[in-house]
Structure 1
């Protein structure tokens, strides 16, 4: 695929007539008025390059910035851009007049994107708390940096939700299911648990979704897409075995059984207390 995009206004005047002739003969695909490609598909990246080429000072944002920056598999073919106007914009193009401070603009090759913390916060409008979860899981942002960026846009609509989600993220969940699990543990005032608890076993490093070390209890939260491939299944089976070998009791929960966690924690606390009494 040819990723190059031709911007008519950037061509010398003597080359524009030749460009217009190629367009008339159907040798070029129009992406936007004044932006063309030789590739017949006119893919998403062509749209991105066309928008930036036509508006060099604009800043790509939201799902567009996320796909380019840290979330390449984000399912969105729209193009979001700030600081730009397009008359009669097609359905896939979402321009806004929002001005982005220079300190919150980053470069991706020749493209201008919102800085990662701002992109994550913007994505809340598109995917909710999952935006923060993904940013933390991929280790492209930190909570202090997100709070700092929030302060630069403290007037924004939707900030009440963003602040709530950031507060819920204080234990750094890596998925919406983990976020729900953390809220459940706090709501039931369960003490002694740690999120994404790091353990090292015979040279292997694992992260337990929620661990209660005093009970030797590993709580794993499995979403419906948890085992997407055979490799995922085999990797998880090996991980489960290593945790069991190291003395952890592993309990697994899904979104359907999440509310059972407090009951199971209580059972293990009771069991540990009985064992302690018997030993004493």
Structure 2
């Protein structure tokens, strides 16, 4: 067994007891030193059965046990997040924060291979240091009474884009599709709901699944959702920023 460790995720303290070292290295930027007797919000004890399950769920490659363990830990955390008012989500999250302006979080979601990473790269090229990538693949959304916060996680996709422990108030979400005309249109709740649920982790237990649906309803009541049809031109970023942020700050 590898060395156990504690980490902080979306304001929660998570204790992990892994079998391999890789997950500890992956979570390095989130690790904390918890004093003896410190209360943890959740504990993940990895077993060979958990790794075997990930192999069955990901049959398309000859994945190593240490890589599959990283997926198993994410799944174990995601299964329990709704009990804490949080959702595991599939999307790329950024914080737009020009100098002197509070950060505003944006999430771009789409099936893998649609182009959300390309779109995030365009934001970084367009706005430079005003854009911080919170997480490139699997952020956590904390749903409060009247607000939502997007948090970084160490599961950041093949690019590894993340800022450990970063977070920002979420002001808008966009479902990304490819197209030749750059436009960003707000969706009504009936259109947005199935698109957002498709990208939300759904726990296996009935109680946590029910909690997930309740949190998703609150998310959709709080955060506007857009359909972003975009190319790989700068005009795609301008269309998204105009709709989702009401424009950009002077100087950009």
Q: Give the TM-score of the pair, scaled to structure 2.
A: 0.30
More helix by share: 1
Q: Which has the higher contact order (CA 8 A, sep 6+)?
A: 2
Q: Give the TM-score of the pair, scaled to structure 1.
A: 0.28
More strand by share: 2
